[in-house]
Structure 1
Amino acid sequence: MAGNLSNLTFTFNLKIAKLDIHPKAIYPVFLAGALIYVFSVVCNGIILGLIITQRSLHKPMFYIMFSLPLTDLIGITVGLPRVLVDILTETNDVYYPTCVLQAFLLHMYACSIPFLLAAMSVDRYIAICKPLRYNSIMTPCKICGIIVLAWGLDFALILVLFSLQSRMVKCKSFITNVYCDNASLLLLSCGGDLTVNNVYGLFITAFIQISTLFLVAPLFIIVLSYMGIVFALSKITTWEARLKALKTCVSHLLLVVSFFLPVICIYIASLITSLTPNARVISGSLSLSLPPMLNPIIYVLNTAEIRVLIQKLLKNRIVSIRKNISKRR
């Protein structure tokens, strides 16, 4: 019983690592982080609102796209505000259940994005290579099934991972990262047998990467098919038609880059032994802040339907403001 009480004492009141920030830089860093968070929330919220309210966006591609800004909102909201509050208040206390919840949701976020990007690649593949059958293949029911499968598989994998982690007896009270993740929670254990956890962690990593590569494989087929389309268009169509074909996959490719580039940076950072702790934390934070910040810009710049709707809304807003000003005069 005493061991159990000791276990509870150590695990429920934790200390979490802090960024080493000069006192004069605390407010600028907090302000920069807050601006990134507000920008990401507002922009992703606008994209979600447009997809929900505009009937012209009620199409298979946008059903899948809806899941991406929603996932980005979850990821950045779970990760960034907590870090910003700790920076501003200069505290590093965290409650164990809260830490577990944050870690679970962050892993859900990180693992769901590749699956959703893979689903988008399948959609683009069918749209380009089987345009006449697109509506019959990508029905709303099938799209919902793909999204549910992506989220369900993600949830099941992460649930097992955290179930294995929770069985370990905890006797330490320091989280080695500025936010909670499974690796940091495992380090709270008393040195029991971590073989099962480590093997399953490697299995999940391999499974997600293999599954993602398998599902993203249609992306390569899209590129090859697109090259064939461009070759055909170069013979029988105008430059406008060629450019329209070229733009088909740009949005999806940029989304893939915005997600995997920070992941590559994290991997490179892990190989550089001379890297400072702050630099490692910053590289790790890129995967939480960069995609939610860049993705809405990608949607607007490279998705004609969303761009036109936003331009229309802004135009109507400007006209409304001008009318109000003229009435006051």
Structure 2
Amino acid sequence: MASNWSIYTTLLTMEPLDILPSHVFPAFIFGTLAYCAILVFNMTVLLTIALNRKLHKPMYLLLFNLPLNDMVGATAFFPQLVSSILSQSRSITYSACFAEAFLTHLYGAGSLLILTAMAYDRYVAICCPLKYNTLMSPNNLLKIIIIMWTLDFTLIGLLLALNYRKEICFTNIVDMYCNNPSLLRLICGDIQLNSYYGLFITIFFQGLSLLIVVFTYIKILITVVSKRQFDAKSKAIQTCGTHLIVFLCLEFNAFFALIAHRLPNVSPYIRRALGVSVMVFPPFLNPLIYGLKTKEIRHNILEFFQKKIF
């Protein structure tokens, strides 16, 4: 048991990686390269949007937040993982674990909020084109981004703040990385309020995003079907298809990971695999999907590299 200020320096033990000694170095190299690839892919999308005035439109300025958020998620997960692989130690201080859990949940909620805001932008662009410049004016866009990040920091900050205790009774993190459910298991005494609030923000973020995305895509589908112009249909399907692929990948990953944490009979190996997939696949795939599927971004990336090479 740890008490008072010593709680922040208490060493916690995370789930073992079970890597054979002969596989330690290859696993370290693979993890490091994966993290570097995520940073490079996301930075490429960020710089492409930032350096091209043609992309300074609401759709791309909202998209700008996604690689930023993905890099937060990857940074919460990979440095601790590759360090553990190399040192063969799964120890982490309580304060570092707390910070990792905060960044992890900030990334998960941020992904949902950003994709929800992007769905609203596509809805206005396709269903209310004459009102687009008014509804998505620079001032309104700034308000959307501020509200999005304020909600994320406030609700996730409160979630982790409720975990504050002067003492903990356990030191074993039952997961591959630190998160709210694993921190709750360390706490002595009643955690009912924490559980209720955790369930509330899960329903809030998942419910809000699903409700808005389903509503906007039904309206978009009706509008696209009613349009006779083939070019308008093709452009709408292209821009919405990319967003929908990213959103569905995140939702399926997050849904099964949440279910695995809530059901006690789920195999710990399945729970770990699903938890890790949420932290690895979206940050890796999102920039690739947007880079390859969005014509304007793909064109500007290719143009940039052609200038540098030739």
Please, what TM-score do these two structures have when normalized by structure 2?
0.91
Give the stretch that moved more between structures: 292-301 or 171-180. 171-180
CA distance in 1, matches of 2:238, 2:145: 25
Q: Give the equivalent residue in structure 1 for 2:202.
A: 205
1:171, 1:188 within 8 Å by CA — same for their partners in 2? yes
1:18, 1:87 within 8 Å by CA — same for their partners in 2? no
Give the stretch that moved more between structures: 127-136 or 22-31. 22-31
Q: How does 1:1-329 map to 2 (within 5 A)?
A: 4=3, 8=6, 12-167=10-165, 169-190=167-188, 192-216=189-213, 217-229=215-227, 232-233=228-229, 237=230, 242-267=233-258, 269=260, 273=265, 275=267, 277-319=268-310
Counterpart AA for 1:286 = S
CA distance in 1, matches of 2:266, 2:152: 34
- The offset of 1:66, in angstroms, is 0.5
2:8, 2:93 within 8 Å by CA — same for their partners in 1? no
1:9 and 1:67, CA in 2 relative to 1: closer, same or farther beyond 3 A? closer
Give me the identity figure in percent: 37
User: How many pairs does the alignment contain?
Assistant: 308
- 5+ residue gaps, structure 1, are 320-329
CA distance in 2, matches of 1:272, 1:164: 23
1:20, 1:278 within 8 Å by CA — same for their partners in 2? no
- 5+ residue gaps, structure 2, are none
Counterpart AA for 2:292 = L
CA distance in 2, matches of 1:108, 1:290: 17
Counterpart AA for 2:138 = P
Give the stretch that moved more between structures: 252-261 or 51-60. 252-261
CA distance in 1, matches of 2:270, 2:115: 28
CA distance in 1, matches of 2:67, 2:222: 28
CA distance in 2, matches of 1:243, 1:225: 13
Counterpart AA for 1:315 = Q
1:161, 1:197 within 8 Å by CA — same for their partners in 2? yes
CA distance in 1, matches of 2:264, 2:243: 31
- The offset of 1:52, in angstroms, is 1.3
1:258, 1:291 within 8 Å by CA — same for their partners in 2? yes
Greater CA radius of gyration, 1 or 2?
1
Counterpart AA for 2:191 = L
1:225 and 1:24, CA in 2 relative to 1: closer, same or farther beyond 3 A? farther
SS at 2:13's partner residue? strand
- The offset of 1:46, in angstroms, is 1.0
- The offset of 1:273, in angstroms, is 4.0
1:55 and 1:3, CA in 2 relative to 1: closer, same or farther beyond 3 A? closer
SS at 1:18's partner residue? coil
Give the stretch that moved more between structures: 63-72 or 155-164. 155-164
CA distance in 1, matches of 2:3, 2:195: 24
1:10, 1:173 within 8 Å by CA — same for their partners in 2? no
2:7, 2:94 within 8 Å by CA — same for their partners in 1? no
1:128, 1:222 within 8 Å by CA — same for their partners in 2? yes
CA distance in 2, matches of 1:10, 1:306: 44
Alignment root-mean-square deviation, CA? 2.3
CA distance in 2, matches of 1:37, 1:292: 9
CA distance in 1, matches of 2:43, 2:25: 26
CA distance in 1, matches of 2:94, 2:82: 19
CA distance in 2, matches of 1:3, 1:299: 47
